[in-house]
Amino acid sequence: TRPGTPSSLARAMGFGGGKGSPGKGFGKGGKGGKGGKGFIQEGPPDTVEVMGEFVHGCEGDLIIKSTNTKVPYFNAMIYLENKSEVGKVDDVFGTLQQVMFSIKVCEGISASSFKAGDKLYINPMKLLPLERFLPQPKGAGGGGGGKGG
Domain ranges of the chain: 49-126
Residue closest to 127 by CA, chosen among 74, 60, 65, 81 = 74
pTM above 0.75, yes or no: no
**In CATH, which superfamily holds the domain spanning 49-126?**
Probable tRNA pseudouridine synthase domain (2.40.10.230)
Rg (CA), the chain: 27
pLDDT digits (tens, 9 = 90+) for 51-70: 999 999 999 999 999 999 99
Torsion sign over Cα 124, 127, 130, 136: positive
Q: What is the mean pLDDT of residues 29-52?
A: 68
